[in-house]
Copies of this chain bind each other. A is one copy, B any other.
Amino acid sequence: MNYCSHCGAPVHLRIPPGDSLPRHVCDACGTIHYLNPKLVIGCIAEWEERILLCRRAIEPRHGYWTLPAGFMENEETTGQAAARETLEEACARVEIGSLFAVVNVPHINQVHLFYLGKLVDGRHSPGEESLETALLQESDIPWHDLAFRSVRFALERYYADKREGHFRLHSLDLPPPPADYL
């Protein structure tokens, strides 16, 4: 951030009075610009003992497999975001269930939420950001070609809970990755 989005003047990094961290402060109009983490919302969408995965057509992790997920937008709920991303990335209609996983990714200022869901009619096809979509059973999950650690975590916990016979909420705080693996 270099300029004030309110008045267009240059901003400066400075600790405001009563605060403890440096903020982007505009001396022209007095606005303090805070930077906050973004929510990424995804869905484990089930259909007849299989779940819906998408192969990414965009960076980062082009060509790798992921659960349908993306940045939450203003003026929607977390559940609506999960359903919208599933529709956008996999052209699939889903009924959103309970929250299943919360994954903190503080080194990139993101919090990932994954909801359980059920496909309405089992139909799916790649949206603009996907190369292909697939309904996969556990033995067909491409464990070595998953796009993100948060997706791996959600899938591992999903199948573990499925074997135990009940789903509960799972949480994880991710450290910075070894390489380009988010």
- Using a CB–CB cutoff of 8 Å, the interface residues on chain A facing chain B are 1-8, 10-11, 18, 21, 33-39, 71-80, 98-99, 102, 104, 106-107, 109, 111, 128, 169, 171, 173
Which residues of chain B come closer than 8 Å to A102, judged between CB atoms? 78, 99
* Residues of B close to A72: CB separation below 8 A: 36-37, 111
Given contacts A111-B39, A169-B169, A173-B79, contact A7 B2 (CB under 8 A): yes
In the complex, which of the residues A33, A73, A99 has the most CB atoms of chain B within 10 Å of its own CB atom? A73
Specify how many copies of this chain sit in the oligomer.
Answer: 2
Contacts of A5 in B (CB 8 A): 1-5, 11, 33
The docked-state distance in angstroms from the alpha carbon of A76 to that of B169 is 20
9 A–B pairs (Cβ distance < 8 Å), ordered by A: A1-B5, A34-B71, A35-B74, A36-B38, A37-B73, A72-B111, A74-B106, A77-B173, A98-B171
